[in-house]
Structure 1
Amino acid sequence: MSTSKYLIDTNVFIGLEDSKATPQNYSSLINLASKHKIDVYIHEAARDDIEQDKDLKRRAISLSKIAKFQTLSKVRGLSKAELEKSFGPIKRHNDLVDATLLHALSISAADFLVTEDRGLHERARKYSPNLVRRVLLIADAVLLLQSTYEPVAVPVNCVEEVEAYQIPLTDKIFDSLREGYPGFDDWWTEKCVKAHRKCWTITDDCIAGIIVRKDETSADTDAVNKKEKILKICTFKVRPEKRGVKLGELLLKQSLWFAQKNHYDLVYLTTFPEQETLIDLIEYYGFEHTATSESNERTYEKIISRQKLISSPEATNFDLSRKNYPRFCADDTVDIYCVPIRESFHDILFPELMRADLFSHSGISDGPKRPGNTIRKVYICRAKINSIKKGSILLFYKGKSEHEPSQMITAIGVFEDLSLAYSYNELLQLAGGRSVYTAKQFEQMKASESSPVKVINFLLVGYPDPAIRLFDLIKSEIFKQHPPQSICKIPRDASLSLLKERDLGFEV
């Protein structure tokens, strides 16, 4: 098993080495890397970046500390023009450094790049989408190291619906909220506690993440789109030390599935520009910036529709489904595949389904007792299929199992892409950032040139309720006498007929 290589950006290095107290995630990154013998590198371009610092004393100290880390050297003869061709315009010195770091990633001189620079993340998304899942925030890198090398359960118990008055003001979740909102305690008491506002919380020893919600109508909303039934997300917060475990994605999924199932017309929230991680997340799933207040607070809105989603020449079916999440396109341009999955891997990918009551969309029960932390997921297999059209529907069939559900289609996904991994390191690169597999599991897959492993990326868009039984699949002639043993295309019309019998909150 080869050693993974993590390349850290200058902003991470500075966070580790400046004179201030080192944030917990920064320390965790280095501790985990050291514990599991992961190589951590600084790029030679980082030295150039530090040498731009006009504070001579600080520059000298920073340069002296770089020696602690292994260095990735520059590629000889690599020109600015070549970097611009692959990684976008280079107007400033910092752009040149960013493009150089992405180039190091593209040639696999490093497996992952760790950076808090939003501009670098945006450059990767725009110009190198194949690298995006390997460009990580510090919290994501910590999670990847923990899940890969320290296979433990995610440290949360559940997404739970509670009344605001049930949450004490002394809970740590409120500490950072107070910093940005001096009147927070009064607002919480007057607007939330007294009004018995509903909240979704994720808890471990205390609250790790929270959404406070409010029902509005066109007559009493600050939203730009004056819809009839509106869900306002008043507060959307994940404790800083809990970021990177995809809790924000889990809370967003809860909100959007709830809104879709309960026939809301609009979901919106307000936030400030510095909340970059939240903005990136909600924009990816179709929220649009509709207004900015005098105080620079931004409004982001997402229209929820129950109409059938129709394909468009202006976007792929995948992007259409992503922007309209959790609706997905299922018109006659879309293929449908069955993905058979064994119990052990099914329960890793869809831990919410390990309970008999599955996922409650009603807003009445407590919701899932185990978190399925991501919307974007990775499935790893050796299926014979070599290509699937982007935006195709994936129906996950759980085979005969010790625990329920058994012999049923339990989950619905929208296909994003398929890649081949020819080695352990390549498998780690392709699956990293979204993977729930351990290093040992990766190693046992024995990816090689002669026997590559397929890495399938997809969006989890729903759980058919009730799950689709084997009996109905055979009766509808979707399956023959026996379920498929590998990924295969299945009859569209018959499959859609069964999906239409489930209440997904919209027309398919």
Structure 2
Amino acid sequence: MKILLDTNILIQRENNTVVPDNIAQLIKIMGELNYKTCIHPLSISEIRKDGNVSRREVNLSKLSSYPTLDGYPNYFEDTEFVALLPEPTTTNDIIDNQLLYCVYQNLVSHLITEDQALLHKADILGLSTVYSVNEALEIFSSDLPKSDINLTSTFKIEHPYNVDINDPIFETLKKSYPEFVNTWWKKVVESDRAIYLFKDSYNSRINAILIPKIEEEDIDCTPKIPRDKFIKICLFKVSEQARGLKLGEHLLTLAIEYAKRNNVNKLYLTHFREENDYLLYLIESYGFVLRGINIRGEEIYTKEIVAPSNIHEISNDPVEINTKYYPSFCDGAIINKFIVPIRPVYHEMLFPNYKHEEEGHGTQMELFTLSDRIKSHGYGIKKAYLSHSFVGSMKPGDLVLFYRSEDYMAITSVGVVEQVHTKITDPELIKKLTAKRTVYSSQDIEKLCEQETHVILFRWCTHLNKEFRYADLLREGIITGQIQRIQTLSDGNYRKIIRGNIDERFTIH
């Protein structure tokens, strides 16, 4: 396995001498796994242009122990690849594209970077083996027999007066908002707003934080936004040390759940655009739209979670609609539906926030407590399911209803299909397709590939309010026997399952 390292993971502008702990751990793991690492020669050339001689020499010395890639193709000569990307405007854009092209052409198996724009481009290209440091650390460490790498977070709903305002996560906020501590945070404490926190299980630093608030007043924005009831996301931030652990998707899920529980259909947030902007790429991929700027120069982004009544005049693409109005999804008669059986061990890994009826429907805290036994990918919205059974008519936009076999023997959860890949026996291909979504270990995948394996990439949308059990399926004539393979579900039978079990504000017929 050959891994291309973006030099930004080894060079920290704030610290010219020390490599961060997670990067040091990653390098150690790659060495233990005998993975070959390299650096692109264009990255070295760019560093040599640095006019700061001292910094340049320090950076070059950091990179001197890594071999450079021996030859590489020029992406400009591939017109199909060029057409997939926006026109480059800087030298850095060209270098980024060259790095991605090395993955695209399988010159290297993986690219590791902390550049959010580069990670976003990789998503556009469908290059699922372009990782952030924490993503690579989690995925590669799972290939070791034992690992003491701690990537887990502890979730807690906290009172603001119990939050350490000196935690490193607040440093950039204090710089951007001079009044953050003495004015803004003081109001948060006085109003005793609920603070949603993910804390590092090892050092108790805040890994991610969310503060939502119900607002029904004019939004400071040019052009003007019509007055309405919104959930204002007052604070939404993931620390740099926790990037790639799906905590941003966690916060987004929490904010949407907060809106649903308070019968609010719109959310908004304000944001100063930053270089290498993690938040921007995340929120845009889940339907937030730039509406304008406020008097402070912050950008205003809004999101609707209920589609307009004339949505089919706007779009007929169920995947596009689900993306823009997530968690809403299309479930009209023209949408195929499938029952997908899943064993308990994989159900737990794929839906770790699911609460079984006999355990009681828990609080939001229970719904989002993280487990160190579950990969962070399990807590994401985008997921992957692997199976030896398949129905040929399945396509993007279809619905998959997951049936937990053996113990619950019930349908629990609903997702929207994004991609389908069939009849695969190459485990490396499956790892590439599912890299940022998979809860399966390398050993699981290799075992599955002893037979033809089918990959379903989907977005989780909702859990049923009440489990639809095996006995219910039999009684309603939906099935005639055990569910052992993926099977089609008629629209009429689908309606029987969701009746009273899904908030139909979020379904589009």
Verify same fold: TM over 0.5. yes
Deviations 1:265-291 (A, max 9, x none): 321111111171111111111111112
Q: 1:155 deviation in Å?
A: 1.5
Post-superposition shift, 1:53?
4.2
What is the aligned-residue identity percentage? 27
Residues 338 and 121 of structure 1: CA distance in aligned 2, closer, same or farther (over 3 Å): same
AA at the equivalent of 1:137: S
* Corresponding residue for residue 121 of structure 2: 123
- The within-5 A match list for 1:55-204 is 62=59, 66-75=63-72, 80=77, 82=79, 84-85=82-83, 87=85, 89-90=87-88, 92-126=90-124, 128=125, 130-131=126-127, 133-149=128-144, 155-158=152-155, 160-171=156-167, 173-187=169-183, 189-203=185-199, 204=201
1:308/1:499 CA distance change after superposition, 3 Å: farther
Q: Which residue of 1 aligns with 2:384?
A: 378
Kept in 2: contact 1:326–1:462 (CA 8 A): yes
Residue of structure 2 aligned with 1:24, choices 3, 21, 30? 21
Question: For 1:201 and 1:321, how far apart are their aligned partners in 2?
Answer: 27
TM-score by length of 2: 0.85
TM-superposed CA distance for 1:221, in Å, is: 4.4
Q: Which residue of 1 aligns with 2:346?
A: 345
Please state whether the residue corresponding to 1:71 is helix, strand or coil: coil
Whether 1:39 aligns to 2:29 is no
188-197 or 328-337: which moved more? 188-197
Alignment-derived partner of residue 270 in structure 2: 270
Distance 1:153 1:385 in 2: 39
Mapped partners of 2:236, 2:55: distance in 1: 37
Question: What is the aligned length?
Answer: 490
Alignment of 1:393-412 (within 5 A): 393-401=399-407, 406-412=408-414
Q: In 1, distance between residues paired with 2:308 and 2:285?
A: 21
Distance in 2 of aligned mates of 1:117 and 1:171: 24
Output the CA distance in 2 between the equivalents of 1:125 and 1:309: 30
1:42 CA drift (Å) = 1.3
Equivalent position SS for 1:353: coil
In the TM superposition, 1:172-251 aligns within 5 A as 173-187=169-183, 189-203=185-199, 204=201, 205-217=204-216, 219=217, 221-222=219-220, 224-251=224-251
Q: Equivalences for 1:316-465 in 2 at 5 Å?
A: 316-353=317-354, 356-357=358-359, 367-370=367-370, 372-386=378-392, 388-401=394-407, 406-420=408-422, 421-445=424-448, 447=449, 451-465=451-465
Q: CA deviation at 1:348?
A: 0.7
Could you give the per-residue CA deviations for residues 416-436 of structure 1, whole angstroms, max 9, x where no partner exists? 112254323222212212222
User: Amino acid of the residue matched to residue 268 of structure 2?
Assistant: Y
Q: Which runs of 5+ in 2 are unaligned?
A: 372-377
Q: CA deviation at 1:293?
A: 3.1
SS, match of residue 14 in structure 1: coil
CA distance in 2, matches of 1:429, 1:467: 33
Q: How far is 1:438 from its partner?
A: 2.3
d(CA) in 1 for partners of 2:502, 2:150: 31
1:491 paired residue number: 490
Tell me the secondary structure at the aligned position of residue 196 of structure 2: strand
Inter-CA distance 474–258: structure 2 relative to 1 (3 Å threshold): farther
Kept after mapping to 2: 8 A contact 1:310/1:331: no
Unaligned runs of at least 5 residues, structure 1 = none
**Whole-angstrom distance in 2 between the partners of 1:115 and 1:315:** 36
User: Secondary structure in 2 aligned to 1:463?
Assistant: strand
Measured in 2, the distance between the counterparts of 1:309 and 1:379 equals 33
CA distance in 2, matches of 1:119, 1:154: 24
